[in-house]
Amino acid sequence: MSDAEAALDVRHVSHSYGPRRALDDVSFTVPQGSFTALLGPNGAGKSTLYSLITRLFNVREGSISVLGHDLNRDPGEALRRLGIVFQARTLDLDLSIRQNLVYHAALHGIPRAEAKQRIGEILKGSDLIDRLGDKARNLSGGQLRRIEIVRAFMHRPRLILLDEPTVGLDIRSRADIVAEVRRLVKEEGVSVLWATHLIDEIDESDRVVVLHHGKVLAEGLVPEIVARESAGSIREAFSRLTGLAGRPVELEMAS
């Protein structure tokens, strides 16, 4: 798959913190229009990889391209095509939901009237459409996360990165958020890289990149990975690839 065909192309990327190797020769692609899950236990290197894709850290070993734009050679064009939802909450709790979204739009040069129209498009049919005047602090954790996802879509990016977006939420809120992102992917025609350690957030139709100890152990559609590992499910395939079966992390993933 060429750079031009991929929403995200990661090639031979490594990164170290002093003597510790956080990523080791990582390569994979996210095809345009796909929902790709970056699956790995805590400490696998997912957040480090996201920090490189968003240029919080410089890429010193290997290359990363977004829709053909290399992050080192053409960072402005690459980042302009990204929407990002970090693990930490980033909404201003003292502003209303509408103000948070309009402010983000302004940072991307979107006029206020166009921003309001865009908010209506994304939230069409959502129960949050009636909460736009509420201060962010009055929403639940799941509702706040859903607004952060809406914000990531405001400037019409072609690739959305979500770093453990459901951490700390209850099962119902997690399911709502996964469903919301899948709906927006279908309606907006964007690509998603969804980092998670929760196997139950993965659908049979998804592409999966298994990351463990900073290395890519498998990449492909769920049925392909399951078949290659002669497993009965993606959970079993993941356990075989990582050797984590029966350990506490597997219990966490099943929670």
Task: Name the residue among 42, 7, 41, 8 with its Cα closest to residue 26.
Answer: 8
Q: Which long-range contacts (CB under 8 A, 24 or more apart) does 80-83 make?
A: 80/157, 81/157, 81/158, 81/159, 82/53, 82/54, 82/157, 82/159, 82/160, 82/161, 83/152, 83/153, 83/154, 83/155, 83/157, 83/159, 83/160, 83/161, 83/190
Q: State the pLDDT at residue 251.
A: 33
Give tens-digit pLDDT for 209-248: 999 999 999 999 999 999 999 999 999 999 999 987 644 3
Q: State the pLDDT at residue 245.
A: 60
Task: Name the residue among 169, 193, 170, 172 with its Cα closest to residue 181.
Answer: 193
Give tens-digit pLDDT for 10-46: 999 999 999 999 999 999 999 999 999 999 998 999 9
The C-alpha angle with vertex 38 and arms to 177 and 55, in degrees rounded to 5, equals: 95
Whether residue 253 has pLDDT greater than 70: no
Q: State the pLDDT at residue 168.
A: 85
pLDDT band at 250 (very low <50, low <70, confident <90, very high): very low
pTM of the model as a whole: 0.89
Domains of the chain: 3-81+158-253 (3.40.50.300), 92-156 (no CATH)
Whether residue 61 has pLDDT greater than 70: yes
Give tens-digit pLDDT for 87-96: 888 899 999 9
pLDDT band at 124 (very low <50, low <70, confident <90, very high): confident
Give tens-digit pLDDT for 155-189: 999 999 999 999 888 888 899 889 889 988 888 88
Give tens-digit pLDDT for 76-111: 999 999 999 988 888 999 999 999 999 999 999 999
pLDDT band at 125 (very low <50, low <70, confident <90, very high): confident
Q: What is the mean pLDDT of the chain?
A: 90
**DSSP 3-state assignment of 61?**
strand
pLDDT band at 3 (very low <50, low <70, confident <90, very high): very low
Whether residue 150 has pLDDT greater than 80: yes
Phi, then psi, of 144 in degrees rounded to 5:
-60, -45
Task: Name the residue among 234, 224, 230 with its Cα closest to residue 202.
Answer: 234
CA distance linking residue 164 with residue 187, whole number of Å: 22
CA distance linking residue 103 with residue 97, whole number of Å: 10
Task: Name the residue among 177, 148, 163, 158 with its Cα closest to residue 211.
Answer: 163
